[in-house]
Structure 1
Amino acid sequence: MELNQYTEGKILLIDKPLTWTSFDVVKKLRYAIKVKKIGHAGTLDPLATGLLLIGTGKFTKKLNELQGLDKVYEGVITIGKTTPSYDLETEFENETTIDHLTQDDLEAAAKKLTGPLDQIPPAHSAVRINGERAYKKARKNEEVKIDPRRIVIHEFALTKIEGADIHFRIACSKGTYIRSMARDFGEILGVGGHLSALRRTKIGDYSVDDADQLDDFINQIKQDAAS
């Protein structure tokens, strides 16, 4: 596989590893395939895995278009505990009993979070407030006020319930924060909640089933370059 094809332009499907930032993946690929023009369509948090679309060369111009596509996520919301970041990046704040909740309660909460919604992004996010990233203000314990954003949740399906761990699949519009979905789900139930696992499985018609593992992709590039 010739490296100049990446300089000309390609869309790469990468399964982002856990704890890596989306920028980490782009940086690693820029070095491996030796291209200057490279970027990604849609950030994944470090604690999320799954589909990351990478554009190189002339296809970097398509990244905004790809970022606007609907997305599908699978993961786990753990109810009864909250964190400031709405995921496992920060320490637990509160713990509440969930013994009184039924499956009907859980299904009703998911239904309330389906359709057009005005969602408030997490304080621990990359949203800019007066030119500064919200998470930087949050980490300094400064007040963070973010305006709601209109999103659309096409599907919020509960796929398995294991005690406090609620497995889900969410199909949504661009700009949706699944961490905020976890927060809102817990608030509707009256017990709080946080996102304990997340995987992006689709972006538009692109599927993680067709994505390469990052290490495998880079090893293949090295083998091709050496042959």
Structure 2
Amino acid sequence: MSKTTFDFNEGEVLLIDKPYQWTSFDVVKKLKFALKIKKIGHAGTLDPLATGLLIMCTGKLTKKIDGFQQQEKEYEGVLVLGKTTPSIDLETSFDSETDISHLTETDVIEATEKFKGEISQIPPQHSAIKVGGERVYKKARKGIPVQIKARNVEIKAFVITKIQFPEVHFKIICSKGTYIRSLVRDLGNELNTGAYLKALTRTRIGDYSLNNAFQLNDLIENFSKKQ
């Protein structure tokens, strides 16, 4: 992104490539204090172990956050068949292993068909949604299961781009509220092998592309040089 001058109080829409292992709120805090922004928020949470496009709104444009959250999302990622973790990613240790030697590429591709269109999915126990006023991941980390209601989402595309067992590379286009980890978990269950998410990058939100996003440190450095 070429823009280097900003008016954060009047309002800016900033595209950030969220770093690996940062929470979305970590990015909010970093920008708020590094750039002295009074009012800032993000549109659409990314898990700490995911990377990619995070839309930040400042000043008067924070009122547009809900509009950005409603837009479709695009992701690219890698799942691994035959192993599971409680968090469905690498945040937690492996808790099961299953032989996958019988699987074929056709098995995997055909299984994705069940998860296209409007589907019902249950968010992961390790997620930031609130149940009873508390983030469910806090209880999950203590080993306390929480009853989470299923939600309806739309999977507009679920494309397998490469298979090199046990790894499966994919691209997904989906509606707001979709949990990619839940898709990975449910695909693993459909194949009777289990699965976990190894890597995930959000590449697009609506018309906004990761290709136009700032690296976090680059944005801070570029702005600081203008002061």
Q: TM-score, structure 1 length as denominator?
A: 0.97
Using the alignment, how far apart are the partners of 2:159 and 2:214 within structure 1? Answer: 27
Q: Which runs of 5+ in 1 are unaligned?
A: none
Instruction: Show the counterpart of 1:184.
Output: 186
Alignment partner for residue 135 of structure 2, among 128, 133, 136?
Answer: 133
Alignment partner for residue 54 of structure 1, among 35, 46, 56?
Answer: 56
Using the alignment, how far apart are the partners of 1:207 and 1:216 within structure 2? Answer: 17
Deviates more, 1:10-19 or 1:30-39: 30-39
Secondary structure (helix, strand or coil) at the match of 2:71 reads coil
Return the letter of the residue paired with 1:144: V
Shift of 1:32: 2.2
Secondary structure (helix, strand or coil) at the match of 1:7 reads coil
Return the letter of the residue paired with 2:49: L
Secondary structure (helix, strand or coil) at the match of 2:187 reads helix
Instruction: Show the counterpart of 2:85.
Output: 83
Give a deviation string over 1:123-178, Cα, whole Å, max 9, x none: 01111111111111111111211010000000000001111110000000000000
Contact 1:51–1:208 at 8 Å: present in 2 too? yes
Identity, % of aligned positions = 56
Instruction: Show the counterpart of 2:43.
Output: 41
Give a deviation string over 1:58-105, Cα, whole Å, max 9, x none: 110000110111000000010100000111000001011111001110
Secondary structure (helix, strand or coil) at the match of 1:65 reads helix
Deviates more, 1:180-189 or 1:127-136: 127-136
Alignment partner for residue 19 of structure 1, among 6, 21, 33?
Answer: 21
Return the letter of the residue paired with 1:129: V
Instruction: Show the counterpart of 1:142.
Output: 144
Contact 1:186–1:193 at 8 Å: present in 2 too? yes
Tell me the number of residue pairs that the alignment of Structure 1 and Structure 2 aligns. Answer: 224
User: Counterparts in 2 of 1:98-117, with a 5 A limit?
Assistant: 98-117=100-119
Q: Which runs of 4+ in 1 moved over 3 A?
A: none
Shift of 1:34: 1.1
Shift of 1:16: 0.5
Using the alignment, how far apart are the partners of 1:79 and 1:90 within structure 2? Answer: 16
Using the alignment, how far apart are the partners of 2:147 and 2:5 within structure 1? Answer: 48
Alignment partner for residue 94 of structure 2, among 80, 92, 95?
Answer: 92
Using the alignment, how far apart are the partners of 1:34 and 1:78 within structure 2? Answer: 41
Shift of 1:31: 1.4
Secondary structure (helix, strand or coil) at the match of 2:48 reads coil
Using the alignment, how far apart are the partners of 1:182 and 1:120 within structure 2? Answer: 12
User: 1:201 aligned to 2:203?
Assistant: yes
Alignment partner for residue 9 of structure 2, among 7, 10, 14?
Answer: 7
Return the letter of the residue paired with 2:146: V
Instruction: Show the counterpart of 1:217.
Output: 219
Using the alignment, how far apart are the partners of 2:194 and 2:147 within structure 1? Answer: 20
Return the letter of the residue paired with 1:210: N
Name the CA shift for 1:171/1:2 in 2 (closer, same or farther; >3 Å): closer
Return the letter of the residue paired with 1:160: K
Q: TM-score, structure 2 length as denominator?
A: 0.97
Contact 1:32–1:221 at 8 Å: present in 2 too? no
Secondary structure (helix, strand or coil) at the match of 2:8 reads helix
Q: Which runs of 5+ in 2 are unaligned?
A: none
Return the letter of the residue paired with 1:151: V
